[in-house]
Amino acid sequence: KADAAQARGEACGPLHGVPLAHKDMYYRAGKISTCGSKIRKDFVAETTSTALQKLEAAGAIYLGGLNMAEFATGPTGHNEHWGRCCNPWNPDYVTGGSSSGSGAATAARAVFGALGSDTGGSIRLPAIMNGLVGLKTTAGLVSRHGLMPLSYTMDTCGPLTRTVRDAARLTGVIAGHDPLDPTTSRRPVPDYEAALDKGIGGVRIGVPRNYYYDIASDEIRTLMTASLEVLSGLGAEIVELEVPDMHEPTHMSNIVFVVEAAAIHEAWMRERPEDYQAQVRARYEPGLYLPAKAYLQALDLRATMLREFAAAVFTKCDLLHTPGMPFAVPRGDESDVGAGKAMPELIANISWCTRAANYLGLPALCVPCGFTANGLPSDFQLMGRPFSESLLFRAGHAYQGATDWHTRTPATPSD
């Protein structure tokens, strides 16, 4: 039908005929949306999410829902109800989560791109582990209407794609104010694609001396240094700096997440606790017992911490460059820890570089920058001021114009 419409000379949108599939928490009226859970295995949505409506209005073809971590909770992508997604580069390794199917399907070239959600790294981690571009959008840039919520104040919507240009196009389509989501911004949406080729001459890129490299492996440090050399060669100014103690916003994000998740899931946890994976239930339950004071303080500190971060970082640079993940992609068997003693440390370490951006509401873009010794890909992360997606895209696109990591596929050698 798309071909016939094009042949007739009909007006075609920016995604005309492009096949996409999305994380199975984006509601589509009349279709089942499992949210990766047993509890919602038969849930039929009555509405279609605003993001899906915008994609279809732009001409995209919807292929279906993609597997995900249960209720968008889990940085590895393990799912006891529907099975673990396998990494296309090597099925023994995880895809990252919680947008695991979005990462696997796009990396395997089954679709050109996919929407995910990001509450603590759930778009960026699958992008990193599958060699993709992943964007965590500024809070309020994209409507969350028609999505199963996880955290009312930290959930964001965004794309996983093969290239930065594709991410810019998808973001431009889905961004903008939505009356059905009062948290969306009324700012005009820039033409992200039009700005891609402006280059990054004179753009200041910050490199943190503290926190982000505290647990980074030597091979990740090497990949980060190489990516910075490329960006410097493109005209960017590399600036070393100190960031605030990022343990604090990360700790605050954990308080906000568990309380809001518990509020959403309280009835099901009381009535159907056995239908949750042990790890997911163990992560939500503390939210039932945290005092309101702790939650309200965490919300109240958000603006202060954002101001402190902006003063320390964005007065010295335009973008902050960090590892996307501090070590190589883990194997499926070694990261299948359930709710055991290893769970807190595993989750904290995988999301070491991603979680604070959700609490602060900042945009962050992950871009492929090479491979680790196990043959799996890795990304660097760029963080910017709120609503600086256009600059993030410019920097990522410039990097991809000078490198070919994004052109590698699981069917081609990684070295």
The β-bridge partners of 87 are 90
Distance CA 271, CA 278 (A): 15
Distance CA 112, CA 132 (A): 11
pLDDT digits (tens, 9 = 90+) for 261-307: 999 999 999 999 999 999 999 999 999 999 999 999 999 999 999 99
Three-state DSSP state, 91? coil
Give me the torsion for CA of 112, 396, 52, 358, rounded to 10°: 130
- SS3 for 194-244 is HHHHHCCCCCEEEEECCCCCCCCCHHHHHHHHHHHHHHHHCCCEEEEECCC
Active site residues: 23, 98, 122
Confidence at residue 74, expressed as pLDDT on a 0 to 100 scale: 96
Task: Name the nearest CA neighbour of 106 among 145, 67, 74.
Answer: 67
Alpha-carbon distances, residue 272 vs 35, 147, 264, 358, 407 (angstroms): 16, 22, 14, 29, 45
Angle between helical axes of 50-57 and 164-174 (0-180°, round to 10): 110
Confidence at residue 413, expressed as pLDDT on a 0 to 100 scale: 54
Confidence at residue 171, expressed as pLDDT on a 0 to 100 scale: 98
Distance CA 76, CA 350 (A): 8
> How many Cα atoms within 13 Å fall on the side-chain side of residue 40?
22
Confidence at residue 411, expressed as pLDDT on a 0 to 100 scale: 85
Positions of the chain with pLDDT lower than 70, given as ranges: 413-415
Confidence at residue 412, expressed as pLDDT on a 0 to 100 scale: 75
The β-bridge partners of 241 are 208
Is this prediction's pTM over 0.95?
yes
Distance CA 286, CA 265 (A): 12
pLDDT digits (tens, 9 = 90+) for 374-410: 999 999 999 999 999 999 999 999 999 999 999 999 9
Angle between helical axes of 389-402 and 164-174 (0-180°, round to 10): 160
pLDDT digits (tens, 9 = 90+) for 169-207: 999 999 999 999 999 999 999 999 999 999 999 999 999
Is residue 154 within 8 A of residue 250, CB to CB? The reply is no
Is residue 87 within 8 A of residue 146, CB to CB? The reply is no
Confidence at residue 101, expressed as pLDDT on a 0 to 100 scale: 98
Task: Name the nearest CA neighbour of 133 among 398, 402, 400.
Answer: 400
Confidence at residue 95, expressed as pLDDT on a 0 to 100 scale: 98
Distance CA 338, CA 277 (A): 8
